[in-house]
Every structure is written in structure tokens, then in C-alpha cells.
Chains A and B, each alone.
Chain A
Amino acid sequence: MENQKSADAKECILRLRGISKQFGAVSALSDIELDVHAGEVVALVGDNGAGKSTLVKVLAGVHQPSSGTIEWCGENVTLDTPSRALDLGIATVYQDLSLCENLDVVANLFLGQELSPYALDEIQMEVRAWTLLQELSARIPSVREPIAALSGGQRQTVAIARSLLLDPKIIMLDEPTAALGVAQTAEVLNLIERVRDRGHGVILISHNMEDVRAVADRIVVLRLGRNNGVFNADTSQSDLVAAITGATDNSVSRRHARTTASQEG
């Protein structure tokens, strides 16, 4: 019931219309439409090469779209630099995490957002870092170790913690659970729900249908750089796979057909 209420109140913060991106002769994205509302999790799914990562980079200000409009809170904007996107309130956790291996965890968390620029407040930053990491139930032994000393999962946690630092309106997570253990995956999914309940929009890119269906309010399917349908979380696995691969006849759908047939029979 409460969900319904927030769904009525929520405004559209991000609206993409007709976004295209060409790399030379290759159209990575053509005519993409995407809406993100406050307080909802939009999952972006698609096969390899479907254009998910390109779309993320367009929204993060790393790539400029060849054509199309981006509307932010009702106004047309151009995301020409990463800092522009950050200033608007779009935080991104990249697939390659974008951490500086030579710097420690605190320095990476606050990179570009250091407290008191002319006399870095290391103590305040360290305390904030620990609080943030504890909110994520992160298991990082020391925040004064260089990132190079951390495992893949720990790095992922640091990257997610960093995106939350600025209290953004929208968080984009590119494959956030790919390198995580079971407990950390569950924790990240919990975290995504917590972020949504605070009224942020979340764009989740994942290959893991189970994760997607666990937290997503809407599932946007991309295929070969184009929109290929919007689904809700109740959509069956086979329908999703069909939309992603473009084929209705595949092993998932065949098994689905067999199980429903045996149940009915």
C-alpha cells in the first residue's frame, strides 16, 4: 500500500528520448528511450553488446550521444563531462570500478570530493569512510591500505560506497554483483532497496536475472542497441530471456513450457 502511495507521488527525474550513439560505422545505441522516476529501481538488461555500458557512459557524461535529448527534472541538459553528471546528481559505479590502485580506501572514496581542499581533513574523511562502509556491512580490514591490496569484492564495495558519498539522485550500478560473494550480493541488493526507499532512482545493469527480478520495479530490455520492451518484476524468466535474445525458442522457454504443461496435465 505504501509502495502505491510513493508510486503516485514520484516524479520523473530522468527522461531519455531518441538517444543514439555511433562509433564510426557502428551504431552502439539507436533511438533509446528510458524513464527513471524517483524511488524506483530500473533494471537495464541485455546481451553482450546490447549497448548497456554505452548507455551508462552517456548518462555518466563520459560519451556524448550523437543525437537525442536528455531531460533532467523537466529540463533539457547536456552531460558533457563526468563532473557535470556528478553535479546534477548522477553517480556511477563502473564495471571496471575506476579506482586508483596507488591510493588508499579513504583517498578513493573522497576522490574529487576531498574535505577542506587546502588542508585535507584526513581524520574526518576516515571517520566518514568507516561509517559509510559499516552502513554497507563491508568487510574491509583497513582503510589505509592501497586499493591494490584489496580483493575484487572489497573493491566493488569501495566503489559502491563512493557513489553514495554525495547523496546522488540517481545511482547507476554497472554489474555490481558480478564479483561479489553470496552475503555481499545480498547486502548490495538490500542496499539498493534502502537507496530506493530514501527516494533515489537506481539504474541497475546486470546479467543475473535473479538479482534483477529481486529488486527491480521495471525491467528495460535492450537488444542490439535498441529498446526491446519494458517488463515488470513479475515477468517470467522465459519472457525476459526471449526479449533479451530475440528468440522465443530457447532452452529456458522450452523448459518453461514443459513445466507448465506438466502442471496443467
Chain B
Amino acid sequence: MTLPESNSPAQKLDRSDTRLRHDEGLSGALRGFIDRVRSGELGLLPVAVGLLVISIVFSILNPVFLAPNNLVNLLFDASAIGFIALGVVCVLLLGEIDLSVGSMSGLASAMIGVLWVRSGLPMPIAVTGALAAGAAVGLVYAMLRNRFGMPSFVATLAGLLALLGAQLYLLGPSGSINLPFSSPLVRFGQVMVMPDWFSHLLALLPGAVLIINGLRKMSLRSAANLSYEAASLLILRAFTLTLGLQFAVYYLNQGRGIPWMFAIFVLFVMIMHYALKRTKWGRSVYAVGGNPEAARRAGINVERIRMSAFVLCSMFATVGGILGAARLASASQQAGTADVNLNAIAAAVIGGTSLFGGRGTAWAALFGILVIQAISNGLTLLNLSSSLRYMITGGVLAIAVIIDSMARQSRASHGRG
């Protein structure tokens, strides 16, 4: 692959306008980043600041917080709710919301317990049954929204109670079902970690993909006479990313290692990222979230997009519920209640998904859940009562929404919608 020589701004198709500032090289990239943050495109800044503050505060209060094994536990815990948050991102992008994801995950765990353990059906069939139930719930929400114009927060608020009822009904008077410890599902949720060498190998992948993609894009864009990112910047980014990941993997491998559950979660985040950013469906989701009427006039089937998002959300909540049950090795009445709902929604918002629709990425679920789970984990280590934990988590959600609203106002005043 030969790198094109000249990148002079004047000749490029997209750089011919003289009013445009050309941010070249490292300093240019930095200047562009500062401009974006100022105008309200916060990106991952709140997450980075949040994680930094959390690590400092909790490691001062209790040094165990940053111990490798605690972080491994944190990743195990984060994966289950992370899946739920990934679904929440899908509906938030449309400007809708699903308040029943917690109950849905609880119902899913109850279904696994009843179908698999109590009725003795094979585990894959129980999982399929739970997923089908999730899809059905999503379809009902989509129908209520599309056919009757019911605001999704009311429909899913009703769903929250109805699904919780179904969960309690399924579990019956005994209230909880233990899942067998030796089963693959529970082992997957509790102990299965990657071999060290494999995790190091996997951590090389993002940097390699970044470089290969970047070089391919560079040659294609230069062939099309468009401007492109400098190769030095690309290599610097890939190098920093790889270095960071290798260190993280090395550190976690000092403990039990990287959970397979977390790896699968990250895989799904990447799949959703691709679907949202690189497919027509994803483009339509953003369009419906930004301006439903414009999307409709552009020939997008708004109803079908809504349906796909609600179904995806409920199904991800189901997956989260199943993994949550595997993590606890039980399906109980408490599964999916309390703060699961809010944690999943808060994770999506903290990660940068706007409650107002049309903004955010799949990565929001990953980074948001890391922040939320870090707080929850830190508070547990401090042995605080759940009353205090709820109050603090509530406060964090409020702060996240305030940041979202303020960024939105700032974007409006900087003409970035």
C-alpha cells in the first residue's frame, strides 16, 4: 500500500472552501477536540473524568478498590447490566425510553429458573424461550407506541409493574430457584476467564484494526480526492490504545483474568456500534431520533425502526437478566428490581447517549456501565447500607442528566443542534 504524498488543503474536494480552518497534525487535533468540548460535544470526557475521580476517591477510602481481583469482579458485574444498557441506548437514540428493562431482566431470570431448573427443559430451550418472551414484550411496546401513539415512558411504566407481576407469579411462593453451580451457564457467569496469552493477543486486535481501517480509508479517500487524517496521528492513536489495553490486560491477569462474559459483552457493543454507524438501519435510527417527520418524508419506515429498537431493547434486557441469574446462580424475586433499571439507564446517559434522541453511540453502554459499576462496587466495599447507595446512585443519575441537558443547550448556542 503506498501512502499518498500530498495532502495540501487547496486541492482537496472537501477543503476548497477558504473559510474552513484546517486542523493538521497533533496540535490541530487537540484544537479540534477543545473546540468540540466547548461547543457541547463532550464525547467520552465525562466518563474519563468520572472514572478518574471515582478511582482516586475510592482507592483512598479503601485500597482494595483498585486490586486486580476487585476489578475482575467489577467486570463480571458490569457485563450483565451492560447488556441491558446496550438495549437502552437503542431506544434512547429514538428519543424513546424503556423503564421496564429491570423487570424484563427479572422476568427472564425467573423464566430460566422455571423452564430449565424446575421443569427440566434443556438450557438452550429455556434461553430461547426467555428471548422469545423479550421479543414479544418489545413488540407490544412498539405496537402501543405506533398504533395508539402511547408515549413510551407510560407504556413501559405499565410494563414495569406487569412484568414484575409475571416474575413473581412464575417464581411462586418459594420465591427463588437456585441454578446448578456446575452448569456451563453459571460457570460462564461466575468463573470462566480467558487464558492470559489469549487476552494479550485479543488486546492487540483493536490497534491493528484501527491501523488497517485507517490506512484503507486513507488510500480510498485520497483516490477520491478527499482530505484524510495524517498517518502519524493514526499510528499514535493505535499505539496509545494498544499500550493502554495491554497494560489493563496485564494488570487484570494479576488477578483471575478477563471474564469471558465481559469479552462477549464488548463483542456485542462492537456489533451494535457497526450496526448503528455503518448500516442503513443505524442511519435511520439516528434520523428518526433527530426528526421523525423528516425521516418519514425521506421514505424511512419509522414504525418499523421503532419496532426494531424496542424489540432489541427488550431482548438485550433478557440477555442481561439471564447473565445476571448466572452471576448470582439463582433466579429470585429480587432479580431485576431496585436499582437495576436506573443503573442501566444512567449508564447509557453517562456514556453520552442523549435523553432527547438522536445522539450517542453503542460505546456509551460500555463506558457508562463501567462508571456506574465502579461507584456501586466502591460503595459496597465501604460497607455502606443500601439506603445510602440508592441515594448516591440517584444523585449520579441526576448529575448525568444535568450534564446532558447543559451540553444540549451549549450545542444549540454553538449551532450544533
Q: Could you say which residues of chain A place their CB within 8 Å of the CB of B289?
A: 102
Does the CB pair A112–B417 fall under 8 Å?
A: no
Q: Are A102 and B290 touching (Cβ within 8 A)?
A: yes
Residues A141 and B20 in contact in the complex (CB < 8 Å), given A102-B290, A123-B220: yes
Specify the main secondary structure of chain A where it touches its partner. loop
B38 neighbours in A (Cβ, 8 Å) = none
Nearest CB of B to A58, in Å? 14
A132 to B: closest C-beta gap in Å: 12
Chain B nearest Cβ from A156, distance in angstroms: 14
Query: A residues within 8 A CB of B294?
Result: 98-100, 111
Which of B295-303, B307-315, B382-390 sits within the interface?
Answer: B295-303
User: From residue 266 to 282 of chain B, which have CB atoms closer than 8 A to chain A?
Assistant: 278-281
Size class of B's contact patch? 35 or more
A107 to B358: give the CA distance in the assembly, Å: 13
Cβ A82 vs Cβ B297 within 8 A? yes
- Enumerate chain A residues within 8 angstroms of B202, measured Cβ to Cβ: none
Residues of B within 8 A of A119 (CB): 278-279
Q: Which of A100, A127, A149 contacts B13 (CB 8 A)?
A: A127
For residue A24, CB closer than 8 A to chain B, the reply is: no
Chain A contributes a number of interface residues (CB within 8 A of B) equal to 38
Contacts of B19 in A (CB 8 A): 141
Could you tell me if B279 and A120 are in contact, using CB atoms closer than 8 angstroms?
yes
Inter-chain contact B417/A123, CB cutoff 8 Å: no
Give the distance in Å from the alpha carbon of A111 to the alpha carbon of B286 in the complex.
10
Cβ A60 vs Cβ B280 within 8 A: no
Residues on B with C-beta less than 8 A from A141 are 17, 19-20
Q: B321 → chain A, closest Cβ, in Å?
A: 30
Bound complex: CA A140 to CA B293 (Å):
24
Residues of A88-147 contacting chain B, CB below 8 A = 92, 94, 98-103, 107, 111-114, 117-120, 123-124, 126-127, 130, 139-144, 146-147
Q: Is B416's CB within 8 Å of the partner chain A?
A: yes
Expressed in whole angstroms, the minimum distance between the Cβ of A189 and any Cβ of chain B is: 23
In whole angstroms, what is the CA distance A86 to B417 when docked?
28
Q: How far is the CA of A140 from the CA of B294 in the complex (A)?
A: 21
- Smallest distance from the beta carbon of A27 to chain B beta carbons, Å? 24
In the complex, chain A residues whose CB is within 8 Å of the CB of B224: 123-124, 126-127
Any A CB within 8 A of the CB of B339: no
| Interfacial chain A residues near B14, Cβ < 8 Å | 126, 130, 142-144
Say yes or no: A148 contacts B417, CB within 8 Å. yes
Contact of B290 with A101 in the complex, beta carbons under 8 Å: yes
Interchain residue pairs with CB less than 8 A apart (28): A82-B298, A82-B299, A92-B297, A98-B293, A98-B298, A99-B294, A100-B286, A100-B291, A101-B290, A101-B291, A102-B286, A102-B290, A102-B417, A103-B283, A111-B287, A111-B295, A114-B280, A114-B283, A118-B279, A119-B278, A120-B278, A120-B279, A123-B220, A123-B226, A124-B224, A127-B224, A141-B17, A147-B417
Which of A's residues lie within 8 Å of B, judged by CB? 60, 62, 81-83, 86, 92, 94, 98-103, 107, 111-114, 117-120, 123-124, 126-127, 130, 139-144, 146-149
